[in-house]
Amino acid sequence: MKLNFKQTVGQHRRRGAALVEAAIVLPVFFMAIVGIVEFGRGMMVSQLVTNGSREAARRAIFDGSTNTDVEQFTQDKLAASIGCDTTDITVTIAITPDPNNNTTGNDLANAQPYDLITVTVLVPYDEVSFFTGRYLAGKNLSAETTMRRE
C-alpha cells in the first residue's frame, strides 16, 4: 500500500481550521441568540404592561374605586406576571374633568361621570431583562390607557 505524501501533508495543515472557524463564528451566533431572546422578553413584558394599564383603567372607572386600590391591584398583578418587585412598578392616575363637571385633582373618590381617567404604568427595563446590557439601560416600558368614568 502506497502512502500519498501530498494528501497527508494537506490534512495536517487543515487540522485546526475548524476550531479556529468555530471560535470566530460561535460568539457572533450566541450574541444573536441572546439578542433574540432579550427582544422577545421586552415585547412580552411590554404587552403585559399594556394589559395591566387597561385592567387598572377598567377598575378606576367604577364607583367606589380609590387610587390606592387601583395602584395596589396593578402593582400586584404585574409583579406576579413579570417577576419584579412591586416597588419597581409606577402607577399614575390622572383625571381630566368633563366640561360639565367641576372635578378637581386626581383623586378617584371625587371623579364624576364622564370624566376621563388616564392610568399610566411604568416599569424599568433593567428590572425585567434577562441579561444586563447597556443598550436599553435606564429605559422604561410604559403604557397609558384612558377611559371615561361611568
pLDDT value of residue 3: 57
Q: In the numeric block, which cell numbers belong to residue 12? A: 495536517
Confidence of residue 139 (pLDDT cuts 50, 70, 90): confident
Q: In the numeric block, which cell numbers belong to residue 63? A: 364607583
* Domains in the chain, number: 1
pLDDT tens, residue by residue, 4-52: 555 555 556 667 888 888 899 999 999 899 889 888 888 999 999 999 9
Strand order in the sheet with 116-124: 90-96, 116-124, 140-148
Q: In the numeric block, which cell numbers belong to residue 75? A: 402593582
Say if residue 75's pLDDT is above 90.
yes
pLDDT value of residue 35: 85
Q: Domain containing 130: what range?
A: 5-148
pLDDT tens, residue by residue, 99-122: 888 888 889 988 999 999 999 999
pLDDT value of residue 128: 85
